[in-house]
Structure 1
Amino acid sequence: MYREAPTDKSDWWELYEPFEETLSDGSTILIPAGYVTDFASVPMLLWSIFPPIGKYNRAALVHDYLYDLQYKQKELGEKEARKFADDQFLFLANKINSKDAFRHFIMYLTVRIFGFYAWRATKE
């Protein structure tokens, strides 16, 4: 479904086929082939605890895509749209593996606290 992206960054990955996922509100999102992601943006210092690539890749992929689109920002406003995207990470990560719900919640909190940097960077 994905391969290492042809960029100068070795930690980026490219979708080689479209990916579809159902969100918590029942809507479906289609991520096109060619989309590039780093999955979870985790500082290298924390990789042993929270690896950037893992069981939650689908959740991180959808989260990155929603951020890049600034999905639902026109409808909900910036704060609520960003929260919706963050909530999708938690929803999908728990859907994939509910046994790691605490780990996912810690990751979710981190995204809630620091995600505005990535959200705002998308605007520029």
Structure 2
Amino acid sequence: MSQFLTKLVMENATGQDDGLWRLVEPLVYQSDVAGQTFEVPPGFGTDLASVPRLPVVYLLAGGTSNEAAVVHDFLYTKHPVPRAVADAVLREASAVTGVPAWRRWLMFWGVRFGGVSHWDADPASN
């Protein structure tokens, strides 16, 4: 059963209101979709959900499921799975945290269409 095995513990990464965060404790997620468990290490930096700050878009999809967003950022940075699996893990992990189905699908299609430019071409450099 997919589940978060630890709680999300993070701090502001820069001391400014710029939306950048750093994990203080590891975040561990067990994924049925990927068939594996991911551990996002302390010190990992994230901007959470990279949702455009346009009022309607952010109202519909922003500020939800920070845990899922952190795991997704980690998968996009390190590439332990293909991009399509990483996006499916975002949808799955959002369900685990109680995000409604319509919002999960909106987020999923947002990353499928808009995420390609964020898929790091060289994960070894991270």
Partner of 2:121: 123
> How many residues align structurally?
111
Q: Which runs of 5+ in 2 are unaligned?
A: 1-8
* Mapping of residues 1-124 of structure 1, within 5 Å: 1-6=9-14, 10-24=18-32, 25-45=34-54, 46-51=57-62, 53-54=63-64, 56-72=65-81, 81-97=82-98, 100-119=100-119, 122-123=120-121
- Please list the CA deviations of residues 58-111 of structure 1 after superposition, one character each: whole Å capped at 9, or x if unmatched: 111101000000223xxxxxxxx100000000011012115x011110110111
Query: What amino acid is aligned across from residue 31 of structure 1 in structure 2?
Result: V
**CA–CA distance in 2 between the matches of 1:9 and 1:63?**
22
Q: State the TM-score, normalizing by the size of structure 1.
A: 0.82
**Which gives a bigger RCO, structure 1 or 2 (Cα 8 Å, sep 6+)?**
2
- Please list the CA deviations of residues 16-38 of structure 1 after superposition, one character each: whole Å capped at 9, or x if unmatched: 11111101234111111000101
Query: What amino acid is aligned across from residue 105 of structure 1 in structure 2?
Result: W
Give RMSD over aligned pairs. 1.7
Secondary structure of 2:116's counterpart equals helix
Query: What amino acid is aligned across from residue 74 of structure 2 in structure 1?
Result: Y
Q: Which runs of 5+ in 1 are unaligned?
A: 73-80
Q: Give, in angstroms, the shift of residue 50 of structure 1.
A: 2.0
Identity of aligned residues (%): 31
Q: Give, in angstroms, the shift of residue 7 of structure 1.
A: 6.8
